[in-house]
Amino acid sequence: MIGEQYLLLPGPTPIPDRVVRAMSKPMVNHRGPEFKKIITRVTEEIKQIYHTNQYVLIYTASGSGALEAAVVNFISPGDKVLAVSIGVFGDRFAKIAETFGAQVEKMQFPMGQPADPDAVIARVKEDINGEIKAILITHNETSTGVFNDIKKIRSGIKDHPALFMVDAVSSLAALDLRMDEWGLDVVVSGSQKAFMIPPGLSFLAFSEKAWQVHQKVSNPNFYWDVSNGLKYLEKGQTPFTPAVSLFQGLDEALQMMQEEGLENILLRHKNYRNMVRSTVKAMGLQLLAEDEHASTAVTSVVSPDGIEADIIRKFMLEKFNIVLAGGQQSLANVIFRIGHLGYVRQLDLLAVLAALEITLSKLGYPVKKGTGLIYAQDYITDRL
Ligand X SMILES: *Cc1c(COP(=O)(O)O)cnc(C)c1O
Footprint on this chain of ligand X (rule: CB under 6 A): 11, 62-64, 89, 138, 142, 167, 169-170, 190, 199
DSSP 304-365: PTTS-HHHHHHHHHHHH-EEEEE--GGGTTTEEEEE--SS--HHHHHHHHHHHHHHHHHTT-
> Which helix (H) or strand (E) is 381 found in, with range?
helix 373-382
Minimum CB distance to ligand X smaller for 172 or for 373? 172
Q: How far is the CB of 85 from ligand X (least distance, A)?
A: 11
**Going by C-beta distance under 8 Å and a sequence separation of 6 or more, which residues neighbour residue 223?**
239, 240
Q: How far is the CB of 169 from ligand X (least distance, A)?
A: 4
Contact between 149 and 21 (Cβ < 8 Å)? no
Q: CA distances (Å), 102 to each of 79, 80, 121, 257, 264, in order?
A: 5, 6, 21, 38, 40
Q: How far is the CB of 203 from ligand X (least distance, A)?
A: 11
> Which helix (H) or strand (E) is 41 found in, with range?
helix 33-50
Q: How far is the CB of 288 from ligand X (least distance, A)?
A: 16
Q: How far apart are alpha carbons 316 and 328 in whole angstroms?
A: 19
> 177: burial class by Cβ within 10 Å (0-12, 13-18, 19+)?
buried
Minimum CB distance to ligand X smaller for 283 or for 340? 340
Contact between 46 and 201 (Cβ < 8 Å)? no
Q: How far is the CB of 383 from ligand X (least distance, A)?
A: 27
Q: How far is the CB of 296 from ligand X (least distance, A)?
A: 13
Q: How far is the CB of 147 from ligand X (least distance, A)?
A: 10
Q: How far apart are alpha carbons 8 and 340 in whole angstroms?
A: 6
DSSP 222-256: STT-HHHHHHHHHTT--SS---HHHHHHHHHHHHH
As a three-state string, the secondary structure of 67-118 is: HHHHHHHHCCCCCEEEEEECCHHHHHHHHHHHHCCCEEEEEECCCCCCCCHH
Contact between 280 and 71 (Cβ < 8 Å)? no
Q: CA distances (Å), 200 to each of 14, 36, 203, 324, 364, in order?
A: 14, 19, 10, 21, 41
Minimum CB distance to ligand X smaller for 67 or for 210? 67
Minimum CB distance to ligand X smaller for 199 or for 326? 199
Q: How far is the CB of 142 from ligand X (least distance, A)?
A: 3
CB nearest ligand X: which residue? 63
Q: How far is the CB of 87 from ligand X (least distance, A)?
A: 8
